[in-house]
């Protein structure tokens, strides 16, 4: 591990931190479209089935057109597919976490990277870590968009009124003066009395005119 950490420090100008937190070896959750296996779902009251499907599209694919294989639950997405559609990001931080159960001969650490695009910050997880902070595949753990250049699923984008989001996605679960949140939990039975809970949250930050200025995606946030 020391050799890996030293190489990471030498190859770039930003600090690499070894954290004590242990994160899972994979991002869990049903693949989009696997709704037949879901026994129970918590969602905002009053949503139509069409609005719920639109919300899932926004949560799991985000962009329109979608980035190939950019769907939470598959674990890893080709980095080059992201860069081809979104541009090359600037890496602003890299953190190493101990792998919970690496297995014989497998890398002992997972790497979390913060990628900055114009008007967007993306937190990704790489396994195995990349010495040059340029992993071939990553898992997406958090996305924050504050620029209308990014066209989202359902024709949505930053700088649209909150009413546009509500008309297409339904009422949010939580609403405050300057923000609203869509929170969904899927419960899938793995065996009798044992359930896997997958969750996502989409938070919209509003200005004084109820215009969406920022959108934040998180998955399995609790």
pLDDT at 204 over 90: yes
Widest Cα–Cα separation across the chain: 56
Whether the CB-CB separation of 139 and 128 falls below 8 Å is answered with no
Whether the CB-CB separation of 8 and 130 falls below 8 Å is answered with no
Q: How many CB atoms lie within 10 A of CB 221?
A: 12
pLDDT tens track for 63-97: 999 998 776 544 578 899 999 999 999 999 989 88
What pLDDT does residue 105 have? Answer: 77
Beta strand residue intervals within the chain, DSSP E: 16-18, 40-42, 77-78, 90-98, 109-117, 120-126, 137-145, 174-176, 179-191, 194-206, 212-219
pLDDT at 26 over 60: no
For the record, the structure tokens of 99 come out as 């792998």
pLDDT at 6 over 90: no
Complete DSSP assignment for 186-202 = EEEEEETTEEEEEEEEE
Cβ contacts of 210 within 8 Å, gap of 6 or more: 161, 162, 163
What pLDDT does residue 147 have? Answer: 98
Burial 72-94 (b: 16+ CB within 10 A, else e): bbbbbbbbeebeeebeebebeeb
Share of the chain above pLDDT 70, in %: 75
Report the alpha-carbon distance of residue 203 to residue 212 in Å, rounded: 10
Report the alpha-carbon distance of residue 169 to residue 112 in Å, rounded: 31
- In this predicted structure, which of 31-45, 99-113, 136-150, 175-189 has the lowest mean pLDDT? 31-45
Looking at every residue in the chain, the average pLDDT score rounds to 79
- Give, in degrees to the nearest 5, the angle at Cα 199 between 205 and 63: 55
Report the alpha-carbon distance of residue 200 to residue 204 in Å, rounded: 13
pLDDT at 19 over 80: no
Burial 121-136 (b: 16+ CB within 10 A, else e): bbbbbbbbbbeebebe
- Rg from Cα positions in the chain: 18
Question: What is the pLDDT confidence band of residue 1, given thresholds at 50, 70 and 90?
Answer: very low
pLDDT at 152 over 70: yes
Report the alpha-carbon distance of residue 175 to residue 204 in Å, rounded: 10
Q: What is the pTM of this model?
A: 0.77
- In this predicted structure, which of 4-18, 53-67, 179-193, 199-213 has the lowest mean pLDDT? 4-18
For the record, the structure tokens of 53 come out as 């499907």
pLDDT at 107 over 70: yes
């Amino acid at each position: 591990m020391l050799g890996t950490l030293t190489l990471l420090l030498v190859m770039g100008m930003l600090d690499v931190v070894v954290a004590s937190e242990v994160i899972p070896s994979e991002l869990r959750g049903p693949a989009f479209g696997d709704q037949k296996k879901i026994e129970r779902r918590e969602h905002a009251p009053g949503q139509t089935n069409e609005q719920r499907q639109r919300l899932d599209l926004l949560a799991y694919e985000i962009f329109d057109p979608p980035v190939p294989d950019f769907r939470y639950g598959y674990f890893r997405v080709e980095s080059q597919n992201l860069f081809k559609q979104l541009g090359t990001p600037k890496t602003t931080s890299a953190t190493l976490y101990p792998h919970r159960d690496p297995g014989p001969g497998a890398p002992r650490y997972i790497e979390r990277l913060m990628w900055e695009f114009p008007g967007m910050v993306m937190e990704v997880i790489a396994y195995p870590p990349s010495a040059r902070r340029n992993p071939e595949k990553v898992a997406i753990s958090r996305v924050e968009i504050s620029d209308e250049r990014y066209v989202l699923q359902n024709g949505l984008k930053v700088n649209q009124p909150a009413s546009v989001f509500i008309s297409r996605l339904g009422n949010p679960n939580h609403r405050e003066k300057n923000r609203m949140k869509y929170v969904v939990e899927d419960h899938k039975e793995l065996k009798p009395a044992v359930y896997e809970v997958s969750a996502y949250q989409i938070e919209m930050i509003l200005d004084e005119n109820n215009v969406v200025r920022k959108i934040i995606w998180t998955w399995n946030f609790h």
